[in-house]
Structure 1
Amino acid sequence: MRGIGRRRACVDAGNTAAGLPSKARTRRRLLDHFERSASAAGFRLDGDQQEAVRLLANAGASLTAGTALALPGRRRGLYLWGPVGRGKSWLAREFFEALDLPEKKRWHFHDLFRQLHAHRRDAQDPAARPPGTSAVDMAIATLLKDCSLLVVDEFHVHDPGDGQLLARLLREIHRRGITLVATSNYPPERLMPSENFHSLFEPTIALIHSTMHVASIAGPMDYRTLSAGRPSGQKNDGGARPKRFSDGAMVLAPEGPNDTRIAEAGLAWPTAAEARELRPGSQPLPALRCTADEAWFDFQDLCEGPTAASDYLTLLPHSAHWVISGVPRRGDISMNGWQRLSNIVDILYDADVPLTLICAEPLDLGPSASPSAVDVSRIASRLRTLGSVGVGG
């Protein structure tokens, strides 16, 4: 804590020497930024968003001044949760981009864990670590190095192993006095929904409540219907524009490779000669096609096989469009299969990479009574931004 105090003193001295704006001016600038950004995206802030903006502006003003955060209960973090499409990620992104703070980091939850696992692998050699430290300790230290603000989108946890790692990360964030801003579709009480493992995660839920101000963002409007914060791409001087997630499609093709709707969707079914075996991680992953333009997978290989979010993140930069064929009825998809599909949709949506799903029957995106019901709502909201070929309604 003495080191943190010295860091704040240095920040205060730097602010004074550089003549940076006062806390009040920084707060006003952040408030104005949110209003302008919302207007540019075609909507007005609702009541819940306005309260979140007020909290974020107060936190941002305190962070840049190096003073104690002005959050309720003197907490150092903010946990924004609510239904899909209420602008939580937009709020976090705008806050991060507008804040003039060099020691800041922002990750999607999947990428955060990819970084943690990669750093842990790099620290496996005990001889390369300080005495008394583990590979996990080193991974967390590397991740949080030179960080005073950490923003994490789509905060959730299902796997008990990830839950243990997350608990250690949150404890270290608190110990270092780092400000954490997280967005989630879950209230803290619904993290780790498995009845078998939820009780093990309850101390971490208590830590979230004691160190973060929890705010609900649950206004009546689903802003994704307005493309809030995701304005349509404009053509450039060459007449083209970057492809976006919403340029993908849901394709109903009950006749498989011979279905005329495949061509209607602008696709050509892969030939046997195009099949490849990829190794994004420790396990091989069959691909029907993998080029710079397109990565094409069968659903069973990609979602029902032993793949992980880290595999999708590794493959992400190599293809401009993902296609998944052989998508079965939702009732025939295992819980793990649906979770993997959810991870893929989240990752591609966050990176704005087009996704096309080819189904023999329409994919049911209705509500579910399963423990993953909130995930279903979020994924359904994202998939409904896709175009459709041969899908009625």
Structure 2
Amino acid sequence: MAARLSDRNPEVAPESLVDELVPPSTFDEVSFDSYIPDPNEPSQAQAVAKARDFVARAAKVRKGKKGLFSRKQAAQGIGLYLDGGFGVGKTHLLASIYHSLPGPKAFATFVELTHLVGALGFVNAVERLSDHTVLCIDEFELDDPGDTMLVSRLLSELTSQGVSIAATSNTLPGQLGEGRFAAQDFLREIRKLSSVFETIRVDGPDYRHRDLPPAPEPKSDDELAELAESTPGATLDDFDALCDHLATLHPSKYKALVDGVSLVCVSNVHPAKDQSVALRLVVLADRLYDATIPLTVSGRKLDEIFTEEMLSGGYRKKYLRATSRLLALSRFAESTV
């Protein structure tokens, strides 16, 4: 019988979370040279140039932080914000920034960062990150007022101590939080975040969808079970059981949950029943995508998990990103399994 993710209960030491903040393995070998700008999208070439410039300036800040400034006169960190749609190579550029700068350094999704602060506590998180050259934040977003205040304080503390910040998102800094809560009530904090970054727009079509077929047809339950049984390292879970299990785990454990898995099979997939379930699936999709773990399902297609009502709400961009990644993983499964 195939193993189940639902039977896994990983333990993650909070102290190890900072050490694990590195780019997904997919981006281990990327560089500015390996980013090929779309000739029809001049913003992409401009983004590469701006990212290279950010690296040069952040390296100077690092030198000032280490030797030219006293503790009372710390070098001020700088910020770069790459905004654009899904799959235009923003994470490639962010990982290239990470690889180009000296350590200590950290690379985390926005969600991973908020989970880190929750696990370590604010003061401890600042202390652990304050000696870093750069903090790279992928998929920067604000989902609630608490995150607004938390991230604003964190970035303010870190940049004042000479940590440079590079971030990607599909929402301009001044628009963070729009449609999700009463953004006007937190406008001061949002403006404070916006002031940290130089914003660069990166346009273009989603490369994960370029010349690709639509979502693969789901397998039958029997086909899925046979595939899971015959694939070493595969897991097989019922969709509802998996969703229930995710609710019992802190999202910071989702990475460990799928560690070492070669293929994730999920049976009886259907639209998520509510936002809490859907948001957990978003985090799981991110962790699967980061680890390049193929995904195969039975039931409904993967582009039907998030309902039209969900896609018309405040988390629309988050759900679209997750759908893009789930489809990429399902196509990867079709080509490799």
Q: In structure 2, the residue corresponding to 1:62 is in which secondary structure?
A: helix
Q: Deviations over 1:39-82 (max 9, x none)?
A: 5xx966831121112211112112223479xxxxx982011111
* Residues 179 and 313 in structure 2, CA contact (< 8 A), matched pair in contact too: no
Instruction: Indicate if the aligned counterparts of 1:85 and 1:223 stay in contact, CA closer than 8 A.
Output: yes
Task: Give runs of aligned pairs for residues 138-177 of structure 1, distance below 5 A.
Answer: 138-142=124-128, 144-177=129-162
- The offset of 1:325, in angstroms, is 2.7
Q: What's the CA shift string for 1:86-120, capped at 9, x where partnerless? A: 111111112221x1423322222333233323322
Q: 2:218 aligns with which of 251, 257, 269?
A: 251
Residues 299 and 324 of structure 1 are in contact (CA less than 8 Å); yes or no, is this contact kept in structure 2? yes
Distance in 2 (CA, whole Å) between partners of 1:298 and 1:260 is: 13
- Structure 2: gaps of 5 or more residues: 1-30, 65-75
Q: CA deviation at 1:360?
A: 4.4
Alignment of 1:1-393 (within 5 A): 34=32, 36-39=33-36, 46-66=41-61, 76-97=78-99, 99-120=100-121, 136-142=122-128, 144-193=129-178, 195-219=180-204, 221-225=205-209, 251-253=218-220, 259-263=221-225, 266-268=227-229, 293-303=233-243, 305-328=247-270, 330=271, 333-360=273-300, 363-364=303-304, 368-385=311-328, 386-387=330-331
User: Are 1:320 and 1:354, in contact at CA under 8 Å, matched by a contact in 2?
Assistant: yes
> SS of the counterpart of 2:82?
strand
**Higher Cα radius of gyration:** 1
Report the alpha carbon displacement of residue 85 of structure 1 after superposing the two structures with TM: 0.8
Distance 2:294 2:256 in 1: 16
Measure the CA separation in 2 of the matches of 1:178 and 1:362.
39
User: Compared with structure 1, are the counterparts of its residues 210 and 163 closer, same or farther at alpha carbon in structure 2 (3 Å cutoff)?
Assistant: closer
Q: Is the 8 A contact 1:252 1:359 kept in 2?
A: yes
Aligned counterparts of 1:189 and 1:338: Cα–Cα separation in 2? 26
Consecutive unaligned residues in structure 1, runs of 5 or more: 1-32, 69-73, 121-135, 228-247, 254-258, 270-290
The secondary structure found in structure 1 opposite 2:259 is helix
- Residue in 2 aligned with 1:231? none
The answer on whether the counterparts of 2:234 and 2:262 sit within 8 Å (CA) in structure 1 is yes
| Cα deviation digits, residues 197-233 of structure 1 (max 9, x gap) | 53454333201221211222122x3222469xxxxxx
- CA spacing shift, 1:153–1:389, aligned 2, 3 Å: closer
**Contact 1:77 1:181 (8 Å CA) reproduced:** yes
The 3 A distance-change label for structure 1 pair 178 and 250 is farther
Distance 1:322 1:361 in 2: 15
Q: Does structure 1 conserve the Cα–Cα contact (< 8 Å) formed by 2:138 and 2:167? A: yes
Give the C-alpha shift of residue 181 in structure 1.
Answer: 0.3
- Overall identity of the aligned pairs, in %: 27
TM-score (norm 2): 0.71
**Larger relative contact order, structure 1 or 2 (CA cutoff 8 Å, min sep 6):** 2
Per the alignment, in what secondary structure is the counterpart of residue 323 of structure 1? Answer: strand
CA distance in 2, matches of 1:44, 1:208: 32
With normalisation by structure 1, the TM-score equals 0.62
Deviation at 1:344, TM superposition (A): 0.8
CA 1:111/1:83 → structure 2, altered by over 3 Å: closer, same or farther? same
Hey, what's the Cα distance between the residues in 2 that align with 1:345 and 1:355? 10
Contact 2:59 2:133 in 1 (8 A): no
